[in-house]
Chain A
Amino acid sequence: MNAPQKNTTEYNFAYLDEDTKRMIRRALLKAVAIPGYQVPFASREMPMPYGWGTGGVQVTAACLTPDDVLKVIDQGADDTTNAVSIRKFFQRTADVDVTERTADATIIQTRHRIPEAALTEGQILVFQVPIPEPLRFLEPRETETRKMHELEEYGLMHVKLYEDIAKHGQIATAYAYPVKVEGRYVMDPSPIPKFDNPKLSDNPALMLFGAGREQRIYALPPHTKVASLDFEDHPFEASKANHNCDICGAGDTYLDEVITDDRGSRMFVCSDTDHCRTRQEA
């Protein structure tokens, strides 16, 4: 990695002032106490746009200590533009060490993926969340959906999944696939491909979800039971492209399809760039 830049700003450690961090930590504690429940928090205006990870950045800022080692990924890769931008933000404002290696990181901020390598106790995975409400596209009103969660009224979601099967022969949700947490709250796992859903359950790492624009935080404490919604006769299936990685040969990783010419040629490569490189080096 490049040498971290000095904290050249006049801002507090990790940008946010300590009062704001305390407010976020309180919301995080509540979220950990009620897994899968969306806790409203007073999201701040950040120096990057809403929808570009402001929720994740605020959660990371509230968790970060000077001894942490930070990894930031977007689409599974460390080098995607927005991951680079967020990593630089924390190098600049917190002067923390950064890494691309999943195993070396104490905090990993991610957009749209869970790393392939198994996470360990003590690690924190911070998700960037665009729309935290799993029921939003069934019912646009927050006032209604909060009531539905209160009453555990999830019939609408099951009807939607059933209609998918009736129309398409299968559940037509490929990412942001809804889950139920410890048999209570239905939760949006953020737009990760459903391939990643099984990693949510019984994970030794702490998983925190931040939605800045929507002012919500939620969490999965370590070893929480998380079930993807399905039906007995249509069980959930974590799917991926039916190929191996063309670089490292892995057959069990989520793959990106890369178009290589204008005649339909393509190759499949691991979306998790650190995992792919670790396998090549091994």
Chain B
Amino acid sequence: MYVAVKGGERAIENAHAWLAEERRGDPAVAELGTDQIEQQLALAVNRVMAEGSLHDPALAALAIKQSRGDLIEAIFLIRAYRTTLPRLGASIPVDTAKMDCIRRVSATFKDAPGGQILGPTFDYTHRLLDFALMANGDAPEAPRKAAEPAHVPHITGFLGRDGLIEQEAPSDTEPRDLTREPLELPADRALRLQSLARGDEGFILGLAYSTQRGYARNHAFVGELRIGTCAVEMDIPQLGFAIEIGEVELTECETVNQFKGSKTEPPQFTRGYGLTFGQTERKAISMALVDRALRWKELGEDYVGAPAQDEEFVLSHADNIQATGFLEHIKLPHYVDFQSELELVRRMREAAE
């Protein structure tokens, strides 16, 4: 019995000891170092940082090791750690136009100032298992070229100059913090984007895919997808100006979506936006599509009842830590409630006889 009248405490201790042993696996096999995880499972590290909302590759690698590769469990570890960290302040907004790009592609133009950079991508690889990796994972050195510190302007900027794409009115309003205030609906776009940025990749992907298949279709083109590092700057009150305190790797996706116009306004393309930590482009693209679908009201579109348009549905269910906790809690003892239902069903059966 998993709820013995006595012994719950010992059962828990023993279970945890067993778990620790299983995590290590066969001691004859070399132990995995967190530096190996950080270097060689970098995309897992990136996902944990993105959905854990904490940019720290070393801690993310530790979480992956501790969680035996269960990424949602790793995200959970990071989130629980993150809550305890003091807030020293907020950075000034990162300027992604100044990103040092390792990848930058646009689907809407053949070429653009700054160029198309494929970067380290799985795109165009043939998905054939490389059995050589089982024996030896050494990679040949990739061809190199000195970086040209060129300004890489946003593609949508070119459309914006001609008025062809909607302009988001700039605002200095401090966005609300999803992790410090209860979510209240309706939420503004900044809060929706926060929620999507830390939302579950699979959930956001599924919703984005549903828009492509016709549930609130919004005709998205990847105007630009860029990955690279951005400087993080912070105002230091004692200095009176902002200084660079570090840099983070980011993925940014800007979609160019179906146009709209009215009697007073000429037709314009619209936008969706995604920004995530690390190299996490599936998530960033998905986020941009869902962001665009959620904007139906401000863009004067019809609500067609699609899940991706439903702000309350999307924001209430995007968080995988909330979802997995509640889902898995049904493993906990519920025998008191079950007993009350058992008696109710027995009583109703007696009444029916």
Which residues of A approach B to under 8 Å, CB–CB? 2, 11, 15, 17, 40-47, 49-52, 54, 74-77, 79-85, 88, 111-113, 130, 141-143, 168-170, 172, 174-176, 191-195, 213, 215, 239-241, 254-257, 271, 273
CB contacts (< 8 Å) of B325 on chain A: these are: 49-52, 54, 213
In angstroms, Cα B180 to Cα A74, docked, is 29
| Residue in B5, B76, B181, B339 whose CB lies within 8 Å of A49 | B76
| Residue in B180, B183, B328, B339 whose CB lies within 8 Å of A193 | B339
Pair B180/A142 contact, Cβ less than 8 Å: no
Whole-angstrom distance from the CB of B296 to the nearest CB of chain A?
16
Enumerate B215-272 residues with CB–CB distance to A below 8 Å.
none
Would you give the 0/1 interface string for B1-19, flagging 1 where the beta carbon is closer than 8 Å to chain A?
Answer: 0111111110110000000
CB contacts (< 8 Å) of B86 on chain A: these are: 17
Once A45-B82, A170-B348, A241-B339 are accepted as A-B contacts, the answer to whether A85 and B12 lie under 8 Å apart by CB is: yes
Enumerate B76-95 residues with CB–CB distance to A below 8 Å.
76, 79-80, 82-84, 86
Asked if B334 is at the interface (CB within 8 A of a chain A CB), the reply is: yes
Q: Interface on chain B toward A: helix, strand, loop, or mixed SS?
A: helix
Pair B336/A193 contact, Cβ less than 8 Å: yes
The bracket for how many chain B residues form the interface is 35 or more
CB contacts (< 8 Å) of A44 on chain B: these are: 83
Whole-angstrom distance from the CB of A13 to the nearest CB of chain B?
13
Pair B336/A271 contact, Cβ less than 8 Å: yes
In angstroms, Cα B351 to Cα A80, docked, is 35
In angstroms, Cα B7 to Cα A3, docked, is 16
Interface centre among A194, A213, A240 (most CB of B within 10 A): A213
Once A49-B325, A50-B325 are accepted as A-B contacts, the answer to whether A81 and B341 lie under 8 Å apart by CB is: no
CB contacts (< 8 Å) of B110 on chain A: these are: none
Whole-angstrom distance from the CB of B6 to the nearest CB of chain A?
6
CB contacts (< 8 Å) of A130 on chain B: these are: 326, 329
Once A49-B325, A81-B11 are accepted as A-B contacts, the answer to whether A175 and B336 lie under 8 Å apart by CB is: yes
In angstroms, Cα B9 to Cα A82, docked, is 9
Q: A193-B339, A193-B340, A241-B339 are in contact. List 11 more A-B contacts (CB 8 A).
A: A46-B80, A47-B80, A54-B325, A75-B335, A80-B3, A85-B12, A113-B336, A170-B347, A192-B336, A256-B336, A257-B339
Pair A142/B185 contact, Cβ less than 8 Å: yes
Pair A273/B5 contact, Cβ less than 8 Å: yes
In angstroms, Cα B4 to Cα A13, docked, is 31
Pair B335/A143 contact, Cβ less than 8 Å: no
Pair A51/B329 contact, Cβ less than 8 Å: yes
Once A17-B84, A175-B337 are accepted as A-B contacts, the answer to whether A49 and B324 lie under 8 Å apart by CB is: yes
Pair B329/A52 contact, Cβ less than 8 Å: yes
Once A45-B83, A50-B326 are accepted as A-B contacts, the answer to whether A77 and B343 lie under 8 Å apart by CB is: no
